[in-house]
Amino acid sequence: MEVYDKYFIPVYKRIKLNITRAEGSYLYDGETPYLDMFSGLGVNVLGHGNRAIKKAVTEQTGRYMHISNYFRSEPAVELAEWICGNTFAGSVFFTNSGTEAMEAGLKIIRKHSSITGKKDIIVFSKAFHGRTSGSASLSEPDISSVYTETAVPGIVRLPFNSGESLSRIDKNTAGVVIETIQGQGGVNVADRNFLIRLRELTEREGALLFIDEIQSGMGRTGKFFAFENYGIVPDICAAAKGIGGGLPLGALLVSEKYSKILGPGEHGSTFGGNPVSCVAGLAAVRQITASGFLDAVTTKGQILHAGLMKLKEEYPDLIGRISGIGLMTGVEILKGSERLPGLFLQNGILVNMTCGNILRLLPPLTIGENELEVFLSVFGAVLKEIVMK
């Protein structure tokens, strides 16, 4: 651990474990298992060590690992075909991360606005879209840890889930950028009427609706994308995290209508759409959409939610708001939140907090119902301990 302190710019608060392997829902420090309730920050949607992903990666590394985007790479083509065949997308741009997918989407909005003359890009309070200058400009400054307000002109920041914000969408609106469920900002779910109305208004005004599904997508809510829970379709959408099956990959999905806004030379990425990441991604999306998988996520989400509600009844002074959809869940901890991760760790469970006191649960979507029961029982014991101290 001292090596980290010595050689790394200290931007991460590291958990003091030495992970030697990972399997299913568990990370191992030597022989000690830890139940992973945040799955690599939402990346390992199929848990650790998924066989089909490992096989696809091994086979692809035997063929080639990188050839550059000057060539047509079969894995990228297959994944793009899958995405366009199974989602609203008419075209796709592959990146290495979520932030880069956001940057690509921002570029499309700005290119489109240079044609239409519309200036405003509407974003929301508590949003998190990444840490590059562009994506951080779309984010709440406190949440993306940037010090300057914005590097992008035309940003208009409005309250999330507020009717008044909707009234600001007009003919000057070039685009609206929103997470269906704000992750880093505290697991805040977009209100049904708010998001549906947002879609109607952006359509009416010819503004691009850009949905960030980086954390909420890839089956996490029991739908492939969380916006499907609302019966709406965006113009552009950013995906990442689970889309690479554990390898670095992001994707910007663009509807047919806006498919060809960017032309040759107007965007690019050396590594974007890396063939090894793409085969892993293809193996991942096929499993996520296999028969019964997403329904099981919904069922497990209900089990988790019911268990949390019971704990809230038992500990009303410790548990506040419970939020989320499916297996993307936030639990507001009213007292002792600073002790929570340590107490869970002592009991063999890894958890993540956001906004200081929101327990953010992003378990692998493959987590077993019995593993959820273990988590809920340990959570009960942890809350008891907080009450006693």
Ligand X SMILES: Cc1ncc(COP(=O)(O)O)c(C=O)c1O
Query: Could you list the residues that contact ligand X (CB under 6 A)?
Result: 41, 97-99, 102, 128-130, 179, 183-184, 212, 214-215, 240
Q: Which helix (H) or strand (E) holds 110?
A: helix 98-116
**Residue 127 vs 208, nearer CB to ligand X:** 127
Of the candidates 366, 364, 290, 281, which has an alpha carbon nearest to the alpha carbon of residue 56?
Answer: 281
**C-alpha pair distances (Å), 205 with each of 124, 168, 173, 280:** 18, 11, 7, 39
Min CB(285)–ligand X separation in Å? 17
Give me the least distance between CB of 226 and ligand X, in Å please: 10
Q: Which is nearer to ligand X, 145 or 377 (CB)?
A: 145
Q: Let me know: does 315 contact 381? Beta carbons within 8 Å.
A: no
Closer of 79 and 319 to ligand X (Cβ): 79
- What is the C-alpha to C-alpha distance for residues 10 and 268, in angstroms, rounded to an integer? 30
Q: Least distance from C-beta 96 to ligand X, angstroms?
A: 8
**CB 184 to ligand X: min, Å:** 6
CB 156 within 8 A of CB 207: no
The nearest distance, CB 385 to ligand X, in angstroms, is 30
Q: Which is nearer to ligand X, 208 or 251 (CB)?
A: 251
Cα angle for residues 246, 248, 249 (degrees, 5° grid): 105
CB of 154 or CB of 183, closer to ligand X: 183
Question: Which ranges constitute the DSSP H helices of 117-191?
Answer: 133-137, 141-144, 163-166
Q: 194, 335 in Cβ contact below 8 A?
A: no
We find the least distance from the C-beta atom of residue 102 to ligand X, in angstroms, to be 6
Structure tokens at 18: 């030495």
CB nearer ligand X, residue 240 or residue 278: 240
Residue 363 CB, nearest approach to ligand X (Å): 16
CA proximity to 209, closest of 219, 195, 222, 220: 195
Cβ neighbours of residue 337 under 8 Å, at least 6 residues apart? 353, 356, 357, 359
Decide: 228 and 195 in contact? Cβ < 8 Å.
no
- The enclosing H or E element of 358 equals strand 358-361
Q: Which is nearer to ligand X, 212 or 235 (CB)?
A: 212
| Residue 102 tokens, joined | 């956001």
Shortest Cβ contact with ligand X: which residue? 98
* Least Cβ distance, residue 254 to ligand X (angstroms): 17
**Three-state secondary structure call for residue 362:** coil
The alpha-helical segments, DSSP class H, found in 145-207 are 163-166, 192-205
Nearer CB in complex with ligand X: 247/333: 247
For ligand X, the closer CB: 102 or 350: 102
What's the CA gap between 69 and 86, in Å, rounded? 24
Q: What SS3 class is residue 344?
A: helix
The minimum distance between CB 370 and ligand X, in angstroms, equals 28
